[in-house]
Amino acid sequence: MRPIVQISLDLTNIEEALETAATALKAGVDWLEAGTPLILAEGLHGVRKLREAFPTVPIVADLKTMDGGYLEAEMMAKAGATHVVVMARAHEETIKKVVEAGKDFGIKVMGDNLGCPDMVEGARMLEELGCDFIIHHIGYDERRGIASRGLPMPSPLDQLQEVVKAVKIPVQAVGGLSLEEAIRCPEFGAPLVVLGAPLTVDADAFKTASGDLEGILRGICQKVHAYEDV
């Protein structure tokens, strides 16, 4: 598929999220993500506001669903989301229900392998259960906790190529990537490039990063979009 740039709006108020989204789209970003902090702070209201402001743009609702899969996916679809996220660590019946809702309401399902003892097998299982995309994810707490003990910080790049080879659906890598690493994800067969904390959002304060955000994003988009379809 054509490389896609997705910005994760890991913010805690809808006004700042809307402003950041407008800047991102002006710079060439393809997809918006209602990040988990935004969903916790603003809920369905936040997704509706994004949809009202940007009626034709794909919106990922990062629900990190663990239970009640059908209802959560249905609610976000009706609020305007085009993609929802379910966790591989959820029961497989929950994953099946999110997939079922995705088909019923015309939205795509992204399966997240965060926390799986075997990340590659987790990705393979998500594909087998009907997910449309894989999120290969090293978590915020996991990265920081391991680094605080003086150990090497894990990266999604560590097993990204193995995950890509294990599935036929598109993959995105998330969790602690530098800008340079994120931009290069299509080289590893992962065409969905996610920009969020701490790349474009202050990871500690959960607010928009300072500096020329539009210029930074434009440069990233130009580099990512220059890749051939992967």
| Ordered alpha helix ranges (H), the chain | 14-27, 36-53, 69-79, 92-105, 119-128, 140-148, 160-166, 179-183, 213-225
| DSSP type of residue 185 | G
Bridge partners, residue 32, by sequence: 7, 59
Name all domains of the chain by residue range, CATH numbers in brackets.
4-225 (3.20.20.70)
Residue 216 has a pLDDT of 87
Summarised one tens digit per residue, pLDDT across range 17-46 is 999 999 999 999 999 999 999 999 999 999
Residue 92 has a pLDDT of 98
Residue 41 has a pLDDT of 97
Q: Is 8 helix (H, G, I), strand (E, B) or coil?
A: strand
Cβ pair 193, 186 in contact under 8 A: yes
- The neighbour count for residue 151, using CB atoms within 10 Å, is 9
Give me Rg for the CA atoms of the chain. 16
Q: Is 18 helix (H, G, I), strand (E, B) or coil?
A: helix
Token pair 């740039």 in the structure block, residue = 5
Neighbouring residues of 87: CB distance < 8 A, sequence distance ≥ 6:
64, 65, 66, 111, 112, 114, 115
Cβ pair 80, 59 in contact under 8 A: yes
Token pair 């993959």 in the structure block, residue = 171
Any idea what the Cα angle at residue 182 is, between residues 24 and 174, rounded to 5°?
Answer: 90
pLDDT in tens, the chain (230 residues): 999 999 999 999 999 999 999 999 999 999 999 999 999 999 999 999 999 999 999 999 999 999 999 999 999 999 999 999 999 999 999 999 999 999 999 999 999 999 999 999 999 999 999 999 999 999 999 999 999 999 998 999 999 999 999 999 999 999 989 888 999 999 999 999 999 854 555 445 445 555 688 988 999 999 999 998 76
Neighbouring residues of 58: CB distance < 8 A, sequence distance ≥ 6:
30, 31, 32, 82, 83
Neighbouring residues of 118: CB distance < 8 A, sequence distance ≥ 6:
none
pTM of the model: 0.92
Residues 193 and 167: their CA atoms lie apart, in Å, by: 17
